[in-house]
Amino acid sequence: MDGSGLTQQPKKQKLNEERDVVDRNIKCLHNLPEEILRYILSLLPTKDAIRTSVLCKRWEYLWTSIPNLDFKGSELAKRKHFMNFVERVLLLRDSSDIKKFTLYCDVLRDASHVSAWISAAVRRNVQQLYIRLCNFREPFSLPHSLFTCMTLTELELEMPCILKLPPTICFTNLKTLNFRYVTFSNEYLTQKLFSGLPVLEELELEYCKWVNIKVVIISAPKLLYIDITEDTENQNDEKGCQVMISGVSLNVFYYIGEFYNEYRVYNSSSLVDASIFVDWSLQRQRQVAHRMYVLLTGFCRVKKLLLTNSALEALTYAEVVELLPHLPIFKNLEYLGFDESLVNLDNVALLKILQKSPCLKKMEFYGVINLSSDDERNDRILDPVPPCFLSQLNCIKVYNYTGDKEELSAVKILLKNAVVLDKMVITCSHHFAKDLENLKKVHEQLLKLPRGSKHCELVFD
């Protein structure tokens, strides 16, 4: 919609003269200039815009240049109508560029139609493409033209089937890429895909599978943000795939999964924020431990690190524990956080990480922190006291506090040893906080604890 004044003489606009006999003194909305009517149509959901073709003859094809098309066919019962609708709309739509194209549908045996629709969008220089397909009853391939689309800046592809890649892949302008449930099965072409992303900034891989692929290098020079959510069911072979990520521009790394594949970030000096939410089952501890260690070694420059307790537990596996002293110094680490799982403060890996984080300023525990209530033993745990406790650590936050013995011990040892602490914030769990009597007792108990830092404030949230 070009904002410059469209007309200086509105009266001479395209007005239907006969209709005006009636309307002359009443300016009806339909008398608006066509460009403005088209603009209004472009603001409507696709369904509504297309319905206007039934208003009157003049409006039959007014919608055909709307820049955004969204087709979300959800109910199987209405599928036939939906598929006919999409086919008809794409047939009638003019050749002007499509900006945003959304297609959610059950494919069944209409693979060729669906592929043709995506092709139609690509031909019209689509910029943002959101595709969610499911229910395949025959083999499905995306059109080859999609993979060399020069205008594409955003692509979301949710497709629980094998991604068949063409020989030529180059996403010249793609900035955001999101694959969900996709299976990568050709090592050579998959590598080509992940090397042909020159301006990619955001990559999300959710529940994707790597089949018959040993190694893949994701090397997108402008990649800022990567988010990997692994499938919880292992459908790969024993070892999975080794995913190497070149992090020359990478700022944020986010991972949820069970390390069915191995991940390694190299050239990660710009990485600022890393989250590793790993979980695992006992029989896989060895593999998870090694993979956790390997990943962590690539994060030596991060400022912020978020982990699950399982991540720490994994590192305590026999062989890997011996490697812990070889972890790099986390020389920029200022924030260390844990998710809602229970953290044991005497965890060897946690203590090692604390020792190696000279600049740590803040710790946040979203779950419960525990420590056995043996005071003598506890004094030996933080011996030597991590350097950050002595000079940098100024804020500790604990959520979900319920005041039992183990939690009290944990808070006690922290308060005692963090000698430059400005404040310790303790939030009781929602449920616990309802009992006001008990809450008061707990607060009093905490206030009595000796504080290593003279100016430390105990805050109850």
Partner 1 sequence: MKFCTVKQYFDDENNNNVTNGIATTVIPLPNKHLKIKANNKEMEQYEQELLRNVMPQELTKLILAANYLNFKEALDFFCRTVANAIQNKSVDYVRKFFGLESDFEPGEEEKLCKEFAWSFEGVDED
| Residues near partner 1, by CB under 8 A | 1, 3-8, 10-11, 23, 26-33, 36, 39-40, 43-48, 50-57, 59-60, 73, 78, 81-82, 84-85, 88-89
Q: Which residue number, 26 or 318, has a Cβ lying nearer to partner 1? A: 26
Q: Which residue number, 82 or 260, has a Cβ lying nearer to partner 1? A: 82
State phi, psi for 122 to the nearest 5 degrees: -65, -40
Residues ≥6 apart with Cβ < 8 Å to 376: none
**What single-letter amino acid sits at 318?**
A
Q: Which residue number, 91 or 282, has a Cβ lying nearer to partner 1? A: 91
Q: Which residue number, 56 or 116, has a Cβ lying nearer to partner 1? A: 56
- Minimum CB separation of residue 97 from partner 1 in Å reads 20
Q: What share of the chain is helix, strand, coil (3-state, %, to 5)?
A: 35, 25, 40
Q: How far is CA 398 from CA 340, 360, 407, in A?
A: 10, 16, 10
Q: Which residue number, 53 or 176, has a Cβ lying nearer to partner 1? A: 53
Q: In what order do the strands lie in the sheet with 242-246?
A: 215-218, 242-246, 262-266
Q: Which residue number, 11 or 448, has a Cβ lying nearer to partner 1? A: 11
Cα separation, 189 vs 184, in Å, equals: 9
Cα dihedral angle (398, 403, 409, 412), rounded to 10 degrees?
60
Q: Which residue number, 85 or 225, has a Cβ lying nearer to partner 1? A: 85
| Residue 185 backbone class (left: φ over 0; alpha: ψ -120 to 50; beta: rest) | alpha
- Minimum CB separation of residue 22 from partner 1 in Å reads 9
Q: Which residue number, 60 or 340, has a Cβ lying nearer to partner 1? A: 60
What is the number of H-type helices and E-type strands within the chain?
A: 14, 21
- Minimum CB separation of residue 96 from partner 1 in Å reads 19
Coil, strand or helix at 124? coil
Q: Which residue number, 86 or 360, has a Cβ lying nearer to partner 1? A: 86
- Minimum CB separation of residue 18 from partner 1 in Å reads 10
Residues ≥6 apart with Cβ < 8 Å to 69: 46, 89, 93, 98, 100, 101, 102, 121
- Minimum CB separation of residue 40 from partner 1 in Å reads 5
The 3-class SS string of 242-273 reads: EEEEECCCCCEEEEEECCCCEEEEECCCCCCE
Q: Peptide bond before 384: cis, by omega within 30 degrees of 0?
A: yes
Q: Rg of the Cα trace of the chain?
A: 29
